[in-house]
Amino acid sequence: MSGLLTTFVTIAIIALSAFFVAVEFSLMAAKKHRFEDAAPRSRAARAALRNSADLTLLLAGSQLGITVCTLALGAITKPAVHHALTPLMTDLGLPLGAADVVAFVLALVLVTFLHLVVGEMMPKSWSIAHPEKSAMMLALPMRAFMTVTRPLLVALNGAANWLVRKAGVEPVDELSAGHDADELRQLVEHSADQGTLDASYQAAIESALELRELTLGDLLRPDRSASSVPESATAKDVQEVTLASGHMRVLVRRGRRVVGVVHVRDTVDLAPSARITPIVREPFVLDAAQPLHEALASMRESRHHLAVVTRRGLPAGVVSMSDILVRLFPQEPRASVGTPAATSPGGS
């Protein structure tokens, strides 16, 4: 192979190696939601999304490509450089054996330098600096490569996953780009310490993170009692309880059991002596052990502002949407509008 052809082949191999390195690191650093935002109008973004879903196959393809490029440089470029340097070493007065060894070492160092710096470190730095841009730019050709080599990649990936499982670890196909609650809490504390996050926002964010650890039972206040009336109560009874407590929603009880909720506004059109039975609504019942974030989602989806909290089937108190918001925004407590604060059943 002529020197000029070897040069062109070497450049092509190094460029191909840079391509595989950039694909690998760009997808590892990219934010998936940015691909999702661009997907409706960009074919490259859709290809990048498919790559992120086939993460293990993509990494296998990248590693396969880098390995083949390394072997190609060792098989083509290094012997050519070695062959070219040997006469130069003999011209410098070295014996043929010594010249051959020195030329071999220099060829190995030169080829390794080119492959490591130009073929790996440069594209790695570029792809990490521009992850989404590089991932979308390279997504389509990488999809084509993976389509051609998929049977081989599946076999290699299957063998690797088998070994990983033997080591007691379950392999995954997609990269998790999120942070857990502890990591987010550390980020918030660090930002507050550095003065880049206001203390009030710090408290609100930390309270939101605690929602995943709290249960409904954690919001119950044993020092307060819920406002309630018996099942046989009249409209006037409900209005009197509302005036005394300030609670717009009042529990309806049958003995110790909560059988409904009545809103005082529904009593306006009734005669004072009228029974409240027609306007009693079904109670929204949640267990005290339910995580607070799940309870909040359930209340929002069902559009309930008040939940009756039970323990082992018995009423333990009530929690309103406002109670959760107060816990979420402790610096800006919001008064409960028409609902009791989180209470235990007390003496009702």
pLDDT, tens digit only, all 348 positions of the chain: 677 888 899 999 999 999 999 998 988 888 877 888 888 888 988 988 888 888 888 888 999 999 999 999 999 988 998 888 888 888 888 888 898 899 999 999 999 998 999 999 999 999 888 888 898 999 999 999 999 999 998 898 888 888 888 888 877 665 554 555 565 666 666 676 766 666 666 666 666 666 666 777 777 766 566 778 888 888 888 888 888 887 788 888 887 778 888 888 888 888 888 888 888 888 888 888 888 777 778 888 888 888 888 877 777 777 877 777 776 665 444 444 344 444 444 333
Token pair recorded at residue 274:
């009228």
347 and 223 in contact (C-beta within 8 Å)? Answer: no
Q: What's the chain's length in residues?
A: 348
Say what the pLDDT of residue 344 is: 45
Say what the pLDDT of residue 173 is: 60
Say what the pLDDT of residue 200 is: 62
Alpha-carbon Rg for the chain, nearest whole angstrom, is 34
Say what the pLDDT of residue 174 is: 55
Say what the pLDDT of residue 14 is: 93
Contacts of 123 (CB under 8 A, 6+ apart): 18, 19, 21, 22, 25
Say what the pLDDT of residue 152 is: 92
Q: Kindly report the CATH number that applies to the domain delimited by 216-328.
A: 3.10.580.10
Distance CA 243, CA 222 (A): 22
Say what the pLDDT of residue 209 is: 64
Residues of the chain with CATH 3.10.580.10: 216-328
Query: 3-state SS string over the chain?
Result: CCHHHHHHHHHHHHHHHHHHHHHHHHHHHCCHHHHHHHHHHCHHHHHHHHHHHCHHHHHHHHHHHHHHHHHHHHHHHHHHHHHHHHHHHHHCCCCHHHHHHHHHHHHHHHHHHHHHHHHHHHHHHHHHHCHHHHHHHHHHHHHHHHHHHHHHHHHHHHHHHHHHHHCCCCCCCCCCCCCCHHHHHHHHHHHHHCCCCCHHHHHHHHHHHHCCCCEHHHHCCCCCECCEEECCCEHHHHHHHHHHHCCCEEEEEECCEEEEEEEHHHHCCCCCCCECHHHCECCCEEECCCEHHHHHHHHHHHCCCEEEEEECCEEEEEEEHHHHHHHHCCCCCCCCCCCCCCEECCCC
249 and 262 in contact (C-beta within 8 Å)? Answer: yes
Say what the pLDDT of residue 346 is: 38
118 and 41 in contact (C-beta within 8 Å)? Answer: no
Distance CA 286, CA 302 (A): 12
Say what the pLDDT of residue 142 is: 92
Say what the pLDDT of residue 13 is: 94
Say what the pLDDT of residue 211 is: 62
Say what the pLDDT of residue 325 is: 73
